[in-house]
Chain A
Amino acid sequence: MSTLAVAQAEREQAWVQPSKGRVAMFCLILAESTIFTIFVVAYVYNIGKSLYGPTPQILEVPIWNSIFLLSSSLTIWLAERAVEHGRIKSFGLWWALTFVLGAIFLVGTGIEWHKLIYEDGLTISTNLFGTTFYSLVGLHASHVILGLIALFTVLMFTVTGHVRKEHADRIQVLALYWHFVDAVWIVVFTVVYVIGR
């Protein structure tokens, strides 16, 4: 727009800016972390305040479930590396494995809740513990569901042959979200099954 400006020495330097997808995903993660923080605070604040009904002692530590979910962070990382180097087939396999691990986690949560509801008689309205437990774990589970929908969408694109090497950046942005969902589980697990029990 101005010849004067172009004459500046800065023309020589490459003009690099951060990827907008990554910046946006980090912002979203920041916002989501705040929501989780509030729910975690509500959980910790209310530990042992329940006046009646089942206590956290009825919980069983979901060790296998946690191992499945956390290892999905590793498989999605392998998928990211694969698509970055253009190995689409291997990408598809790791991605599908990530989806399966996430789905197993969700089913595991379902089984846990089924036991809590039908054997221990704990629902969200039973007592304060039920309210805080189902809302915190449920908040995380709803994020897993959102993540699985996103994973599944990409999986469908992969199966139909639409994913190419140049999509690596977008896929990595999506993977950031999945890593976040996994990392939050460590916090939720610690608070609910270690500190709170």
Chain B
Amino acid sequence: MADSTFPVPGALEAAPHGRRWSQAAFLAWLHDWVVTVDHKKLGILYMLYSIFFLLVGGVEAILIRIQLVRPDMHFLSPWVFNRVFTMHGTTMVFLVGMTYIFGFANYLVPLMVGARDMAFPRLNALSFWLTFFGGILLYYSFIGGYGLYGASSAPDTMWWAYSPLTERAFSPGHAPDYWALSLIVTGFGTIGASINVIATALCLRCKGMTLMRLPLFVWLNVVTSFLALLAITPLTAAQVMLLIDRYLGGHFFDTQAGGSALIWAHFFWIFGHPEVYVLVLPAFAIANEVIPVFSRKAIFGYPAMAAASVGIAFVSLGVWAHHMFTIGMTSVGNTFFVLSTMLVGIPTGIKIFNWVATMWGGKIRFATPMLFCTAFLFQFLIAGLTGIILSVAPWNWQLHNSYFVIAHFHYVLVGAIVFCIFAGIYYWYPKVTGRMLSEKLGKWHFWLFVIGFHVSFDTMHVLGILGMPRSIFTYEADRGWAPWNFVVSIGGFIQAIAVLVFAFNLVHSYFKGRVAGNDPWDAWTLEWATPSPPPAYNFAEDPVVTSRRPLWDIKHPEDPDWRYE
């Protein structure tokens, strides 16, 4: 953890200190943040937005768990329960998942490739604000307009909004409209941001940064962005069709006029399954940076890791109908999607082995980021295994729409993605703010969260096997589900406490944390060669790199990496 002594370009500019509060200064500060096109500020805005909605979605999860803690509860009405779990899913996928990607990518991709900003700074700002207002629009549905039941019109059709439930006849009011419009708007934001990430990583690399020297973080974000371009757009198209049906009297999903409700399911999952990989690949990207630095070894199998990411992206485009085994497909269709789904296990397996091989024989430092990444490895393995179980069509017929499925995908979304987000925040917080997050609070956060996670989601698998279906607002006492649900809810509360510890840590350390210095983790990628926080222009002179670990070369001129590449 020693401060390194290599020259830091741009360190001459002192950060402004001790600004006095006044209304004019506050307005100037606010104006600066609203009109900014700086990739670092936009990255921070994306992250704050993501963390804010993580808390909102978390509150919704807690409401669900309170309602289900005992049989025959009346904490929420069935109608409110439907809205709450729809909004929980939509929020977590679109407002948390899709924004943390671009939070990290915006902040880090230009720094890692040695550029001064993203390729299109203004497009970057436009993308963020589209996403921002899309999210606001979604939540405005709670108070705006009139709904089916009078009180509000928040969407209540689940996050996949299966047709024909979303047709005018079955969902009057504006609930599906808010859902579709806000996701079209955030989708445009995603397309803009993805284009920006790709253009930055391919066209703005500093001298010597060949494609085979790009940090794996950047590689994976490029793959993610390509996948997002291919995955978000089918949803946009399907939502446009839904709006045509609802507003212009179209018949796409209107079975009474010959339309098809089934085709919505296909269109949605053509988006929905690659979306899972859009969300998880940036989490892998974080693990790819954290695990080597804290194992004190270069990543094992760099080309295999890059190739496996591309492989995952390709395979993920052909597996969507494994969400639809119970809809009734031909046996050829079933077999195809069983096999293609199982195929995903190969590139992901390569990744897990490579991470383990990176840790193997390393001098592992179990700082908080590494703790989260270690837990991620185990949990992601289990999530993958239950995924293979669910990919077998007969198993799927048994377990479909049960809590087993919920447990499986929360293992991916929380056990893998959220754990990696936390690892990434603990790892890069010093770079962004100039201060370390408290390690002590970090360890509390980690242990509470990992315990709460397993209490909740391990137990949920059992509930699924016992036959509890998802999305039911309550259950009878004689079903035998009560003790399990009680345990799941307790786990949920423990996770909530852990997240509160984390939120406190974020705020507290910003003011009181230990000053970080430029390179607190003794890391190897270019962002650590800038001051913390980096100046607006990132690098005073354009860096030149000669290997995958430019800072290693500078710190160890006697044994540079490029000799071995």
Hey, which bits of chain A sit against chain B, CB under 8 A?
1-2, 4-6, 8, 10-11, 15, 17-20, 23-24, 27-28, 30-32, 34-35, 37-39, 41-42, 45-46, 49-52, 124-125, 127-128, 131-132, 135
Distance, CA A8 to CA B244, complexed state (A)? 60
Q: In the docked arrangement, what's the CA distance between A151 and B39, Å?
A: 30
Is B233 part of the contact surface with A, judged by Cβ < 8 Å? Answer: yes
Q: Is residue B389 within 8 Å, beta carbon to beta carbon, of the partner chain?
A: no
Are A51 and B267 within 8 A (Cβ)? no
A57 CB to closest chain B CB (Å) equals 17
Q: A51-B256, A125-B250 are in contact. List 14 more A-B contacts (CB 8 A).
A: A1-B9, A1-B541, A4-B546, A4-B553, A5-B543, A10-B208, A15-B208, A20-B204, A23-B202, A24-B195, A46-B258, A52-B257, A135-B240, A135-B250
A4 CA / B263 CA spacing, docked (Å):
59
Contact A38 B238 (CB under 8 A): yes
Roughly how many angstroms separate A112 CA and B550 CA in the complex, as a whole number? 62
Are the C-beta atoms of A1 and B257 separated by less than 8 Å?
no
> Min CB distance, B5 to chain A, in Å?
13
Is A30 within 8 A of B229, CB to CB? yes
List residues of B (189-204) whose CB comes within 8 Å of A's CBs.
191, 194-196, 198-200, 202-204
Given that A4-B557, A38-B234 are contacting pairs, would A50 and B263 also be in contact in the complex, using a CB cutoff of 8 Å?
A: no
Contact with A128, one of B225, B233, B258 (Cβ below 8 angstroms): B258
How many whole Å from B531's CB to the nearest CB in chain A? 13
Most buried by A among B120, B236, B258, B270: B258
Q: A17-B202, A42-B252, A135-B241 are in contact. Are A27 and B195 (CB under 8 A)?
A: yes
Residues of the A chain whose Cβ atoms lie less than 8 Å from the Cβ of B241: 39, 42, 135
A39 neighbours in B (Cβ, 8 Å): 237, 241
Contact A51 B258 (CB under 8 A): yes
Q: Does residue B361 face the partner (Cβ distance < 8 Å to A)?
A: no
Interchain nearest-CB distance for A75 vs B (Å): 28
Q: Would you list which residues of chain B between 233 and 274 have a CB under 8 Å from chain A?
A: 233-234, 236-238, 240-241, 244-245, 248-252, 254, 256-260, 263, 267, 270
- Nearest to B228 among chain A residues (CB) is A31
In the complex, chain A residues whose CB is within 8 Å of the CB of B244: 124, 131, 135
Query: Does B554 have its Cβ within 8 Å of any Cβ on chain A?
Result: yes
Jot down 21 A-B pairs with beta carbons below 8 A, ordered by A.
Answer: A1-B9, A1-B539, A4-B560, A5-B543, A5-B554, A6-B544, A15-B208, A18-B202, A20-B199, A28-B191, A31-B191, A31-B233, A38-B233, A39-B237, A49-B259, A49-B260, A52-B257, A124-B250, A128-B258, A131-B251, A135-B240
Q: Are B259 and A46 in contact (CB under 8 A)?
A: yes
How many chain-B residues does the 8 Å CB contact rule pick out?
A: 59
Given A24-B119, A128-B258: A17 in contact with B237 (beta carbons within 8 A): no
A66 to B26, CA, bound (A): 58
The chain A residue with its CB closest to the CB of B6 is: A2
What residue of chain A has the Cβ atom nearest to residue B529's Cβ?
Answer: A1
* Chain B residues within 8 Å of A27, by CB: 194-195, 198-199, 225-226, 229
Given contacts A1-B529, A1-B543, A2-B7, contact A125 B248 (CB under 8 A): yes
B9: A residues at CB distance < 8 A: 1
Asked if A45 and B544 make an inter-chain contact with CB atoms under 8 angstroms apart, the answer reads no
Q: Which residues of A contact B237 (CB under 8 A)?
A: 34-35, 38-39
- Cβ 8 A contact of A131, one of B7, B119, B250: B250
| Contact pick for A8, options B120, B245, B562, CB 8 Å | B562
Q: Which residues of A contact B441 (CB under 8 A)?
A: none
Interchain CB contact under 8 A, A35 and B233: yes
Which residues of chain A have C-beta atoms less than 8 A from B375's C-beta? Answer: none
Q: Is B230 an interface residue (CB 8 A)?
A: yes
In-complex Cβ contact of B260 among A11, A23, A45 (8 A):
A45
* Chain B residue contacts of A41, Cβ below 8 A: 263
A20 CB to nearest chain B CB (Å): 4
Beta-carbon nearest neighbor of B234 in chain A: A38
Interface residues of B in 508-526 (CB under 8 A from A): none
A48 to B250 CA separation, bound complex (whole angstroms): 16
Interface of B is mostly: helix
Interface residues of B (CB under 8 A from A): 6-7, 9, 119-120, 191, 194-196, 198-200, 202-205, 207-208, 225-226, 229-230, 232-234, 236-238, 240-241, 244-245, 248-252, 254, 256-260, 263, 267, 270, 529, 539, 541, 543-546, 550, 553-554, 557, 560, 562
What separation, in Å, do the CA atoms of A34 and B225 have in the docked complex?
14
**Interchain CB contact under 8 A, B120 and A20:** yes
Q: Could you tell me if B233 and A34 are in contact, using CB atoms closer than 8 angstroms?
A: yes
Q: Are B199 and A23 in contact (CB under 8 A)?
A: yes
Q: Is the CB of B258 within 8 A of A1?
A: no
Q: Within 8 Å CB of B207, what residues of A?
A: 10, 15
The answer for the CA separation of A63 and B241 in the assembled complex, in Å, is: 28
Q: Give Cα A18–Cα B201 distance, bound, in whole angstroms.
A: 11
| Residues of A with C-beta under 8 A to B557 | 4
A10 vs B206: C-alpha distance in the bound complex, in angstroms? 12
On chain A, the residues within 8 Å of B544 by CB distance are: 1-2, 5-6, 8, 10-11
Given A10-B546, A34-B229, A35-B233, is A45 in contact with B263 using a C-beta cutoff of 8 Å?
yes
Task: Kindly list chain B residues whose C-beta atoms are within 8 Å of the C-beta of A17.
Answer: 202-205
Tell me the smallest distance from the CB of A89 to a CB of chain B, in Å. 32
Contact across chains for A5 and B550 when beta carbons are under 8 A apart: yes
Contacts of A34 in B (CB 8 A): 229-230, 233-234, 237
Least CB separation from A52: chain B residue = B257
Whether the pair A19, B529 counts as a contact (CB closer than 8 A) is no
Min CB gap A43→B, angstroms: 10
A131 to B253, CA, bound (A): 10
**Chain A residues within 8 Å of B238, by CB:** 38
With CB as the reference atom, state the residue of chain A lying closest to B232: A31
Question: Once the chains bind, are A5 and B263 in contact (CB under 8 Å)?
Answer: no
